[in-house]
Amino acid sequence: MRNRITILEKSLKCLTPLLLGGLLGCEAGGAASTSTAVRGATSSESVVVLGAKLIDGTGGAPIEDSVLVLRGDRIVAVGAATATAIPTGARVVRYSGKTIFPGLLSNHSHVGIVDGLVAGSAQYNRANILRQVQQYEAYGVTTVTALGFNGAIFDGLRAELHSGKTSGADLFGVDRGIGVPGGAPSEAVVPVGADQILRPATAEQAREAVRAMVSRRTDLVKLWIDDFGGTLPKMPPEVSQAAIDEAHRHGLRVAAHIHDLGDAKAAVRAGVDILAHGVRDQVVDGELTNLLKEHATWYVPTLQLDESAFVYADRPAWTTEPFVQRALHPDVRAQFEDPAWRERILAAPATQAARAALAMNLRNLKILHDAGVAIGFGTDSGATPLRIPGVAEHRELVLMVEAGLTPLQAIGIATRDAAAVLRLGDRGTLAPGKLADFVVVDRDPLQAIANTQSIAAVWHRGQCAGCNATYLAR
């Protein structure tokens, strides 16, 4: 049977450089046939992915020498090479020595808010959003949740990305989101247009806001209830309660922006389904743990949010590596290289606060994870120029391991659990019937979690996504 198999090893050598912009050393002439190399399975043809160590996302032990059989956009079989039948006539892709894990899913990101260093409603446009979802996909984040601030074009773009006809990460999200009149989310921080946020003042207006979001087919409802350290008015409890009740009446779940322990407890008690940030003002206690478990509330720490506030000014070695640099808009890259900018950031009181918030967030994640609280995966990437789509998600994995989770646990949260947050049964693990969304890396992330960054290829819906693209070479 072996001689009937088409071997594509030679052309595959060039998938990495094609994906990440030629930085990783594609041999001249090595791309035997790009069009062949990037093809996935057609609806009638099988593709067999052979030889990789496979992490299936369930948290179980990896398969050292795996077989993954794809047909169309789906996985039809997965198992050990010794125990899995290879369909006759299938095209074979060899990834010996590499590791495969499911495509990452973000439960908290944003699209169309920033372009380079510029933020505002003008950035909420098709070209900018597509560039961002394509960057997420190229970095192995194959599903993204844009958690609020979405404008009128969101619904159509989401439908295109769901269909798979437009390339990029699959997109889900909150339509506008519900903030506070004169309060969060502050336009000084996220200067979006008036049509990208709803600010009800009364319970009835909150119900109307939810109904308007329902009419635009929102996937979730988002509330900003926080007072940002006492600098802004809080959302009145009767407003948040009305929004939560109305959302639940329509079968929608509610995510809430929180920062402090008190707000987290109040949100869970009021029926919020997803805490969209970690608790960062103090150590969590047994009361919050019990509330989260009793209500089966998801906790999405967004560790990278605070790290992003200072780490590019600190400039550790990883920030200068191609994995990060290729993801940066030239203006953002220039800012990171500007000593005056770095000095200003390092001296700012907000930077010290962000360092403390990250340390507390790490500590609280470990406590809640150990206690059995359901953890989701998100970073708030895309909300500011410092939260780099794709890079942020790989840093979140590193930070989860810094918090004390194992690499296998961190990957399980970013795949299986993140899919469960979105109630998407068709992805998140590598199993028969699931979408063929997976990341191929050169080095084993179970040995060192930062190895998720050694991306050799990203497969999305059974196709090697973005292998011909140049969108990272901006």
Contact positions vs Zn ion (CB under 5 A): 147, 380, 383
Instruction: Tell me how far, at minimum, the Cβ of 171 lies from Zn ion, in Å.
Output: 15
Instruction: Tell me how far, at minimum, the Cβ of 120 lies from Zn ion, in Å.
Output: 16
For the chain, the C-alpha Rg in angstroms (whole number) is 22
147 or 225: whose CB is closer to Zn ion? 147
Q: For residues 389, 391, 396 and 401, what is the CA-based torsion angle, rounded to 10 degrees? A: 160
Instruction: Tell me how far, at minimum, the Cβ of 102 lies from Zn ion, in Å.
Output: 23
CA distance 111 to 129: 6
107 or 463: whose CB is closer to Zn ion? 107
Instruction: Tell me how far, at minimum, the Cβ of 185 lies from Zn ion, in Å.
Output: 8
Instruction: Tell me how far, at minimum, the Cβ of 144 lies from Zn ion, in Å.
Output: 12
CA distance 50 to 69: 9
130 or 383: whose CB is closer to Zn ion? 383
Please say whether the beta carbons of 115 and 123 come within 8 A. Answer: yes
105 or 147: whose CB is closer to Zn ion? 147
62 or 179: whose CB is closer to Zn ion? 179
- Pick from 253, 260, 264: which is nearest to 287 by CA? 264
184 or 403: whose CB is closer to Zn ion? 184
19 or 267: whose CB is closer to Zn ion? 267
258 or 440: whose CB is closer to Zn ion? 258
98 or 110: whose CB is closer to Zn ion? 110
CA distance 43 to 48: 14
Instruction: Tell me how far, at minimum, the Cβ of 381 lies from Zn ion, in Å.
Output: 9
Instruction: Tell me how far, at minimum, the Cβ of 110 lies from Zn ion, in Å.
Output: 6
84 or 128: whose CB is closer to Zn ion? 128
Instruction: Tell me how far, at minimum, the Cβ of 113 lies from Zn ion, in Å.
Output: 9
Instruction: Tell me how far, at minimum, the Cβ of 183 lies from Zn ion, in Å.
Output: 15
Q: What is the 3-state secondary structure (H, E, C) of the chain?
A: CHHHCEECHHHHCCHHHHHCCCCCCCCCCCCCCHHHHCCCCCCCCEEEEECCEECCCCCCCCECCEEEEEECCEEEEEEECCCCCCCCCCEEEECCCCEEEECEEEEEECCCCEECCEECHHHCCHHHHHHHHHHHHHCCEEEEEEECCCCCCHHHHHHHHHHCCCCCCEEEEECCCECCCCCCCCCCCCCCCHHHCECCCCHHHHHHHHHHHHHCCCCEEEEECCCCCCCCCCCCHHHHHHHHHHHHHCCCCEEEECCCHHHHHHHHHHCCCEECCCCCCCCCCHHHHHHHHHCCCEECCCHHHHHHCCHHHHCCHHHHCHHHHCCCCHHHHHHHCCHHHHHHHHHCHHHHHHHHHHHHHHHHHHHHHHCCCCECCCCCECCCCCCCCCHHHHHHHHHHHHHCCCHHHHHHHHHHHHHHHCCCCCCCCCCCCCECCEEEECCCCCCCHHHHHCEEEEEECCEECCCCCCCCCC
Instruction: Tell me how far, at minimum, the Cβ of 168 lies from Zn ion, in Å.
Output: 19
195 or 238: whose CB is closer to Zn ion? 195
CA distance 18 to 352: 40
